[in-house]
Structure 1
Amino acid sequence: MTSVNLKYKPLGAYLIEAGIVNSVQIDLALNEQQLSQRRLGEILSGWGWVEQQTIEYLIEKIVLPEQQTQNNKFDDSEINLYRNGSEFGQESLAIVPDANAISLLNLNTPFRKLEFIVSARKAARFLLTVVTVLVLLSLIGQFNHYFLPDYPFRELFAQLTNVDEEVNFPTLYSASALLISSALLAIIAYAKKSNGERYVQYWSALSIIFMILSLDEFLGLHEKVIVPLRHTLKAGGLFYYTWVIPGTIFVLICLLSFMRFLAALPVKTQRLILIAGSVYIGGALGVEMLDGYYAQMYSNDSMMYSILTTIEEFMEMLGIVILIYALLSYISSFMKGV
């Protein structure tokens, strides 16, 4: 079969001219196609941007007739799909009798752009190193506190490195990491709003939530409600640290509210965010319940209790590292407009 190399107007241009999608959405779909190997029409319809019937109708009624007009001197059976890049970087779409085989191609249309040069992998590796150092220093400080004879600055070292204390190095790191997450979410929300994309309110809401979490991490606001709630609810055991009750309710509300948003995310981002959330919540709520149970049954002034709280804080820190990696990867892979 002979291939015919002809330049045609990209299918994406038809969709943009019809006001169905914009150039950024096509770029995002192309990036997702490279990762998932799915058809672009399936990606666009899966994200709720274009109905599959709309694409098929456009191809059948507009795209193919125009291309057939340009190509009427050739036999239809000899026309193959190909991609041809021009000297200006524009990609062309060749026609094909099977409408389902037509791909949306990249349009190098100018749009608002902010260069983002942070490597997601390197950033995650750096943050994970910081977390590991903080956790080890905390364990060393607590070991010194409980098992070694007193020496100058022993208690100060233990206090400044204890991941379960407030206003020290681990707390400053955790609050900063949460604030970075909030900033990345805000950047995504701003870019999506500028490009007229969907789910802006979800990205914005997440940014606000993580800003509040950052403030709470630094000031320990949630711990101030433990005693009043405990007396009011007469709670104990796994709910000895009683803030976990409203905390669990809040998590469930967020999960239900953001289910549609999560389902619309690219598979890689969706998976990473779910892993990050599971690790973070598993530490913040799950291990926190064990901490409370141990504190009530035994003591909150022991090496064993310190180990439990260290596991809790490590899981929280690790969850945020995974989230930051997910957000940076999303920006670099799926948001050329950022």
Structure 2
Amino acid sequence: MSVLLGIVAVLTFLSLAGQVARFHLGLPNALGLVPFFYVDLENNLPTWYQTLALAFASVLLAGLAVAARHMRAPFAGRWLALSLLFVFLSLDEAASIHEATMEPLQRVVGYLPGVWQPVWVILGIAAVVAFAAAFLRFLLYLPRDDRWQVFWAAALFVGGAIGVEMATAALYTTSDPSYKVSFTYALLAHAEELLEMLGVVVLIDFLLRRLSRTASFSVTVAS
């Protein structure tokens, strides 16, 4: 976990340094380094890192699904469903799939003011509620410490992806692209991405610990 936290800290620092150079030192590009490290842009180092981190979480979840099925433990299907969910999240991070829902949704609901301007959050909140309902029994099945770690991982990720997005919309008219050209917006973007990255790190820590315990238990039973 310390390695991943270090990577997140370095990426966040480099991104923030780039935005200080952009807005306060008159260096909007700096040989391409500013956009390459900026957490709010696509197809750059922070995006590649988060894509790989989400994919890694998916692989770990698949491993837990296989182990649960092998040991005939309950909720093997839930581990697999979570693995598939993180495949989607990894693809979404790489390709911004959720943003593609904006235009169709706006045609249906029209322009919504305030926190609802990024209308994709409506689908996001609905998905979170549906997920919580579908996985409640699975979450309660986990030991208390594991349960709380999963809860905090989800809270950090959702708080960044949806919570900060809505807070940003409350401050800016997001239909005007110029709202992104301010240092205040850049700070909010860093808060959003940092929370998302930390949420994934906390989850990966949980998954690695659980896989280690599962492997130890399998070896003990086999012996």
TM-score normalised by the chain length of structure 2? 0.91
Determine which of 145, 149, 171 is the counterpart of 1:294. 171
Report whether the alignment pairs 1:253 with 2:109: no
Unaligned stretches of 5+ residues in structure 1 = 1-123
Q: Deviations over 1:250-275 (max 9, x none)?
A: 01000000000011111221111011
CA RMSD of aligned residues (A): 1.7
2:113 — aligned with what? 236
2:67 and 2:214 in contact (8 A); partners too: no
Q: Partner of 1:258: helix, strand, or coil?
A: helix
Report whether the alignment pairs 1:165 with 2:45: no
- Give 1:333's aligned amino acid: R
Shift of 1:321: 0.3
- Give 1:217's aligned amino acid: E
Shift of 1:334: 4.3
1:308 — aligned with what? 188
Query: How far apart, CA to CA, are the structure 2 residues paired with 1:150 and 1:190?
Result: 50
1:325 — aligned with what? 205
Query: How far apart, CA to CA, are the structure 1 residues paired with 2:199 and 2:74?
Result: 26
Shift of 1:155: 6.3
Query: How far apart, CA to CA, are the structure 2 residues paired with 1:319 and 1:155?
Result: 32
Unaligned stretches of 5+ residues in structure 2 = none
Percent identity between the two aligned chains: 36
Query: How far apart, CA to CA, are the structure 1 residues paired with 2:189 and 2:118?
Result: 13
1:230 and 1:236 in contact (8 A); partners too: no
Report whether the alignment pairs 1:195 with 2:71: yes
2:156 and 2:196 in contact (8 A); partners too: yes
Query: How far apart, CA to CA, are the structure 1 residues paired with 2:26 and 2:173?
Result: 28
1:294 and 1:305 in contact (8 A); partners too: no
1:129 — aligned with what? 6
Query: How far apart, CA to CA, are the structure 1 residues paired with 2:31 and 2:114?
Result: 30
Q: When you count helix as a share of all residues, which structure comes out higher?
A: 2
Shift of 1:335: 4.2
2:18 and 2:38 in contact (8 A); partners too: yes
1:241 and 1:292 in contact (8 A); partners too: yes
Shift of 1:171: 0.3
The count of residues paired between Structure 1 and Structure 2 equals 214
Shift of 1:149: 2.7
Q: Deviations over 1:206-242 (max 9, x none)?
A: 0000010000001111112223323431222101111
Q: Deviations over 1:124-170 (max 9, x none)?
A: 1000000001111111111111121348x516211111111111000
Determine which of 79, 84, 94 is the counterpart of 1:218. 94
- Any residues of structure 2 matched to 1:256-295 within 5 Å, and which? 256-295=133-172
Report whether the alignment pairs 1:205 with 2:81: yes
1:142 — aligned with what? 19
Q: Deviations over 1:34-70 (max 9, x none)?
A: xxxxxxxxxxxxxxxxxxxxxxxxxxxxxxxxxxxxx
**Cα separation, partners in 2 of 1:286 and 1:265, compared to 1, 3 Å:** same
TM-score normalised by the chain length of structure 1? 0.61
Larger Rg: 1
Query: How far apart, CA to CA, are the structure 2 residues paired with 1:224 and 1:142?
Result: 27
